[in-house]
Amino acid sequence: MSEAILGAPDLIVLPEHFDWMGGSVDDKRRAADFVPGGDAYSVVQRFARDHGVWVHAGSLMERRPEDDTVHNTTVIFNSRGDNVGIYRKIHLFDITTPNGATYAESAVVTPGDDLLIYEMKGYRIACAICYDLRFSRLFDRLSNENADIFILPAAFTRQTGRAHWEILCRARAIEYQAYFVACGQCGTYPAPGGPRRETFGRSLVCDPWGSVIARAGQYPTVLHAEIDPHRLTEVRRLIPMSRHRVPLEGKLLRVKTEQL
């Protein structure tokens, strides 16, 4: 897997499905574990506490004990090992790629309901996971809460990654004048009834101008990046979008069609 590290040793970011991925629907359900209390949860919590570092634990498969629902879940631990937030992926990856491969995340995963921003060392950090990247309204809502950094653990496919990964990451950074940390799972995994599937990797970090300030390849690595608060201030001063943004709710929409 790839890891994106912000201002080490302040924060470590892991990719989507950092502990396990692939397999059949039944395999995925069996791999889901409890939050808190599951093995993956406990390992990362102990690491954060023992090393005195914040960990944005990409995502893991969470089983809810009350109804056996499964979520694709990010958990954040502070440097004492305290759980400071949980985000459950909202947009589920049910698509067909150009080569005909189908993905049906909703066959296992139930979407979450809530958004999450947490604060660390003066930064407001907003959460999203993988397919959420394509839905700008989510980031618009988070931006309204003054997000400074978006963090997106992901497991993009090779095909969609080559076409859209960097474009969308840079666009979100530019649109909302925030740092964008995208931590991409890399490598292959088994898919039932077909060939192994390949994830795209290529973790990257964009500054609020949309410049890529750190970039990984398609193989396991540790990626370092430094977040500069002055860069946030500078970009927002040069193009003061927060002052220029016009509320569109309640605006009359006129749709005109040509009469034949």
Write b or e for each residue in 1-26: b if 16 or more Cβ atoms lie within 10 A of its Cβ, otherwise e: bbbbbbeeeebbbbbbbbbebbbeee
The Cα–Cα gap between 46 and 239 comes to 43
Catalytic residue among 3, 16, 169, 186: 16
The Cα–Cα gap between 55 and 19 comes to 14
* Helical segments of the chain, H only: 25-31, 39-51, 136-143, 158-160, 166-176, 229-238, 241-244
Look up residue 135 and give its two tokens: 């839905």
Query: Does 89 participate in catalysis according to the annotation?
Result: yes
Strand ranges in the chain using DSSP code E only, listed in sequence order: 2-6, 11-13, 54-63, 70-77, 83-88, 94-96, 102-104, 117-120, 123-127, 149-154, 179-184, 186-189, 197-200, 204-206, 212-215, 221-225
Catalytic residue among 127, 130, 183, 186: 130
The Cα–Cα gap between 209 and 178 comes to 8
Helix (H, G, I), strand (E, B) or coil at 29: helix
Query: Does 251 participate in catalysis according to the annotation?
Result: no
Catalytic residue among 28, 62, 89, 127: 89
Query: Does 175 participate in catalysis according to the annotation?
Result: no
Catalytically active residues are: 16, 89, 130
